[in-house]
Amino acid sequence: MKKIFSISAMCVILTLASCNKMIDEQPISEGTLNNFLRTSLEADAAVAGMYGEFQQTMMGNGQYQNRMLWWGESRSDNWERRDAYTVNATDEIQFNGLTELNNWADWSWLYSTISRANLLIKKLPEVKNYSPVGTIGSLTPAREASLMAQSYAMRALCYFWIVRVWGDAPLRITPYENLGDVAEQARDPQEKILDQCIADLTQAYSLTTKAQTPNVFYIGEGAICAMMADIYMWRKDYPNAAIWFQRLFASRAPTGKVFNASGVATRGTGGSIADLQPGVTWNAQFVTPAASVESIFYIHWDFLANGCACMAGTSRTDNEPYIRMATQLWTEWPTKSTQLYGTTTATTDLRVKQTYNITSATNQPIRDRSVWKLYAGAYVAPTATAGYNFTPTIYTGNLPGTRETNVYLPVYRLSGMYLMYAEALNKLGDMANSVRYLNLIKTRAGVPTVDVASFTQNTLEAEILQERQYELFGEGVRWFDLVRTDRVQEIMDPILNARQIATGIPGTGWGTDKRRYLWPLHNRVLYSNSLLVQNQPY
């Protein structure tokens, strides 16, 4: 389908409501604003601009600017810098030495998306004052409710990202409309921001028509429920998280299928392998998410409109990448579940070869540009003498054959939510059903299932997180998983220690200062708002 953000009228919102820096945002001309958002066309353009801003924020406004990965994964055990092509920003991430000069320490893109959502929430209800319902250019009540729901949910999603990356932050829920509006604002406590996120998502859910087949590139009922469950999991409020998981299960995939009808009524019940993308076509959900039974919300990147989706780590580009899959993960994942095919031992995990090139050659093009998860390919079934294979359709030899292709980046999909539900059930004392949901993912992946008797609550959580690392690699969640479950030091301390020793630095490891879970505020942000205070200990 044509990229939803490409409609020509988007230029209206880009001109009138854009702001690259929340802290120094310039108020819109009062006269111009009074003539804006008066018709359904302008409303659709403004909403497209909001999604377009979020797309640019997460996937990039230039090469290797995919902030979803930098914020959500780069500091975890999924990635490492490339020694052959290092820059200051990746060196800081590699050794947990973030500074206020790191390019990805700037929250301005998220605030720019929030500013668009704030404007929509204020102005959408006013459209009917200029284009009465039933006249040309009017918004139907149902359409207004849908656009309002998406705006509330987008604001909540952006603030949730801000809280997880920086903690406390200025909370603004009204647009800049007058020349006298004060832009500078002190930081609000993160719990207050999360309260606002929950309020926004509650409002969005109430405005959303239930049991509708969604467009996967827009925020619908399922995406709202997924966000709410994610926030409650972050807060360690597992009973409320479970409620929203069950509401998610009642919503629909873009194929029209109810995600998990048998899991709606009673906590811990339901769940079926049929709810998930089949293992042999696991990669297809990233290439054609609208056709997958487990797609919830994706970002749409259109090559014709935006150029190359030149993302760090997960992109096809012949330029020198900044980071690569961490050596331990790259080496060990294919060995976790294996089978003998004649005299050849090969992985049975159907995700491995559909995620990256595991060729044992150590030449740089394969090792450093190995991830092809988001790109089309063909599954080749195993034989008596060889394990299964996966052949990408636009790779030529070791390098990308073309960068001229669309990319669809998952924000939420059902596999990730099933594993997070398993995590919640485990915390609620229902280890049996937790293991059952975990085993759904393992079965689909073609790896051995596990038995509840083998685990304590703590070791079961670790097993779930390991499965999430494999299943959701490159999707911007691993770092948040480690922080949410307080396993940063456990996982990252030996890795940091080894990196330090390898470069001749004394091996001090990660350290015990949990304040370093957060990023510092970039100098650009601090200079733009004198009321901001830097995160400690930066």
Element (H, E) at 30: helix 30-34
* Residue 91 placed within a domain: yes
| DSSP code per residue over 93-159 | HHTT---TT-GGG--HHHHHHHHHHHHHHHHGGGHHHHS-TTSTTPPPHHHHHHHHHHHHHHHHHHH
* Residue 481 placed within a domain: no
Which pLDDT value is given to residue 361? Answer: 62
Task: Verify that 325 and 200 share a domain, yes or no.
Answer: no
* Residue 254 placed within a domain: no
User: Could you say which of 194, 209, 224 is where a domain stops?
Assistant: 209
Which pLDDT value is given to residue 2? Answer: 36
Which pLDDT value is given to residue 403? Answer: 65
Q: In degrees to the nearest 10, what's the CA dihedral of 348, 354, 355, 357? A: 90
Residue 4: phi and psi, rounded to 5, are: -70, -15
Q: What are the residue ranges in the chain where pLDDT is below 50?
A: 1-31
The terminus-to-terminus CA distance of the chain in angstroms comes to 45
What are 345's strand-pairing partners? 340
Task: Verify that 35 and 179 share a domain, yes or no.
Answer: yes
Are the C-beta atoms of residues 468 and 475 closer than 8 Å to each other?
no
* Residue 249 placed within a domain: no
Query: How many degrees, rounded to 5, is the angle at CA 25 between CA 46 and CA 73?
Result: 75
Task: Verify that 70 and 191 share a domain, yes or no.
Answer: yes
Task: Verify that 191 and 319 share a domain, yes or no.
Answer: no
* Residue 54 placed within a domain: yes
Query: How many degrees, rounded to 5, is the angle at CA 497 between CA 496 and CA 499?
Result: 65
What are 81's strand-pairing partners? 323
Sole residue written with tokens 């914020």: 71
Task: Verify that 62 and 175 share a domain, yes or no.
Answer: yes
Are the C-beta atoms of residues 520 and 98 closer than 8 Å to each other?
yes
* Residue 321 placed within a domain: yes
Task: Verify that 318 and 203 share a domain, yes or no.
Answer: no
User: Could you say which of 377, 405, 433 is where a domain stops?
Assistant: 405
Which pLDDT value is given to residue 33? Answer: 64
Which pLDDT value is given to residue 493? Answer: 97
* Residue 522 placed within a domain: no
Which pLDDT value is given to residue 321? Answer: 81
Task: Verify that 309 and 203 share a domain, yes or no.
Answer: no
Range of the domain at 176: 7-209
CATH for 89: 1.25.40.390
Which pLDDT value is given to residue 419? Answer: 99
User: Could you say which of 405, 423, 451 is where a domain stops?
Assistant: 405
Query: Per-residue pLDDT tens for 103-127?
Result: 999 999 999 999 999 999 999 999 9
Are the C-beta atoms of residues 432 and 426 closer than 8 Å to each other?
no
Count of domains observed in the chain: 2
Task: Verify that 26 and 148 share a domain, yes or no.
Answer: yes
* Residue 234 placed within a domain: no
pTM of the prediction? Answer: 0.93
